[in-house]
Amino acid sequence: MASALAQTRKAFYGIAALSAVTNILMLTGPLFMMQVYDRVLTSRSVPTLVALTLLALGIYAFLAVLEMMRSKILLQIGRRIDEELSDPTFNSVLTLPLNMAKGDAVSQPLRDLDQIRTFMSGSGPIAICDLPWMPLYILILYIFHPYFGYAAIAGAAFLMALTFCSEFLLRDPTRKLSQLVSARWELVEAGKRNAEPLHAMGMRTAYANRFDEVNRRYVEGQTTTSDLTASFSAVSKIFRMALQSAILALGAWLVIQQLASPGAIIASSILTSKALSPIEMVIGQWRSFINARQSRRRLEDVLERFGEARSPMPLPAPKRSLSVAGLAVMPPGSNKPIIHDVSLSLFAGQGLGIIGPSGSGKSTLSRALVGIWPAARGSIRLDGAALNQWDPEALGPSIGYLPQGVDLFDGSIAENISRFSPDANPGMIIEAAKLAGVHDLILSMPNGYDTAIGNHGAILSSGQRQRIGLARALYGKPFLVVLDEPNANLDSEGEVALTRAITAIRAAGSIIIVVAHRPNALQALDHVLVMNGGAMVAFGPRDEVLRKTTRPTSTPASAPTEAPALPDAETTGEPEAPKSGKRIAI
């Protein structure tokens, strides 16, 4: 943030210089009025009036050019700040969900950046640059007569007191309103993502009631802050108008007492208005100033936590091994590990199946293996290098990941498979699609690989999204492929394609890890890891581990055999067959 603001420092110096010139030229109005009253009307000289008018018009034209320049420079300052901060801010937004605790608003940093840019491009900085010139106007008023100067000082003191009151009264409501804005938009986004279940299960009314409660508090907060801001602005505006009238009355009295010229009456009224207008403008912009200040603090904190870090030294792409030693993983915002003491080693061409009951830590382990959640203890290494020694962008092409909930992006099928790479190889896209067994399906669509699938892959079924997600994971034949329940939404044809893909990726020298509940996903794998209660129950060759940790259920000859069962959560030491009352199907 400091660096981005430093980039615009010279431009702000230019704004200050322009403000100095414009504030001096603003004296044109009162001085013109004085000359008209004191010279033209007394001398009845038309040439003098024409000359003064032309001079004033020329100055006003020049002043208009300076005002336009000042506004354009401020717009460029806002644009420059956005250019400097948009990339790290968006990267932080993408990183925040991986590290966010409950209550964090994912989109808040972008809104904070918008708030800062809007303030820096608006009239707030102009008011701040005009404030230092207020003593000049008061000094000129004092030269006209000390009473004019005293009246202007009293008016400025009153308006400054209003400013401090607005700071005190608006700070907390503005902070709460910002939090309510985030909560409101998070509810809207969640409703958009879950529109189908909300409609199908009759949840729209209940969800709308929840939104109405948050929206009601938001509207109340906005009403409170807007009411305070409007009240302060109205008081300052009416006070300034009343003060102008008071200055006119004071000037008239001074003229009657022959202590000032008639022209000083009008000139003093205009100068008083101009002297106090920056304070009035600051009061009107105070809410925006508080918002921008709070946004800066929040954005600085986010960029400090999740901004661009130092890029590690480039390492060659991994090709040999994956090793996990004493791994413990905690979810963001928690201090209790979900999995602990997991150790394993795999080499190029090997495949691992991770099995276990729901909640045993399988998905958490898969997230840790691809670097989504960091290790709280222990290490994950590729070719001997820990994951934090890799730049995620550099390691990304060597990683293939298919999460449980496959979410595709708005764009074409080819763009999604190629991970939106700007220089994607069409041959590699087709190869990945064939590997995932989805090539013919894609060709059957209206525009083939160029078919636009909409947000979240809206035009695709869950099975189609999963198979295209699998093709994305296999794009470029990455070294480490982690698939979290890849057959959850697949039909028999899709499962056959999945088995072929696993076999092919292993034959290419990659390591593949499959989280599975259904045992047919283990057919093409040679190792199995059994998880239970967040701990590693068993790890080794597939057949040996399954033989030790599972057993079939006694069933009639005509009935199909029940899926193998996992051990009890209390199992320790050498894995044993589970008790008959606690069998959990893979």
Domain boundaries, the chain: 2-306, 321-582
Confidence of residue 216 (pLDDT cuts 50, 70, 90): confident
pLDDT surpasses 80 at 565: no
Determine the Cα–Cα distance for residues 569 and 579; give it in Å rounded to an integer: 11
* Residues 2-306, CATH architecture: Up-down Bundle (1.20)
pLDDT of 185 reads 77
Closest by CA to 414, choosing from 464, 453, 459, is 453
Other beta carbons within 10 Å of 53: 13
pLDDT of 105 reads 53
Query: Which residues is 236 bridged to in the sheet?
Result: none
Instruction: Report which of residues 423 and 571 the model is more confident about.
Output: 423
Q: Which ranges of 257-351 would DSSP assign to H, the alpha helix?
A: 262-284, 286-306
Instruction: Give the mean model confidence (pLDDT) for residues 564-573.
Output: 38
Q: Specify the DSSP element, H or E, that contains 46.
A: helix 46-99
38-45 long-range contacts (CB < 8 A, ≥24 apart) are 38/261, 38/262, 38/263
pLDDT of 555 reads 44
pLDDT of 347 reads 93
Confidence of residue 573 (pLDDT cuts 50, 70, 90): very low
pLDDT surpasses 70 at 552: no
Instruction: Give the mean model confidence (pLDDT) for residues 488-513.
Output: 84
Q: Which of 339-353, 417-431, 441-455, 569-583 comes out lowest in average pLDDT?
A: 569-583
Q: Treating both helix axes as pointing N-terminal to C-terminal, what angle do 426-435 and 492-507 enclose, rounded to 10 degrees?
A: 120
Region 321-582: CATH code: 3.40.50.300
What pTM did the predictor assign?
Answer: 0.66
Relative to beta strand 321-329, strand 339-347 is: antiparallel
Q: Are 23 and 138 in contact (CB under 8 A)?
A: no
- Summarised one tens digit per residue, pLDDT across range 350-377 is 999 998 888 888 888 998 999 888 888 8
CA torsion angle 499 500 502 505 (round to 10): 180
pLDDT surpasses 70 at 219: yes
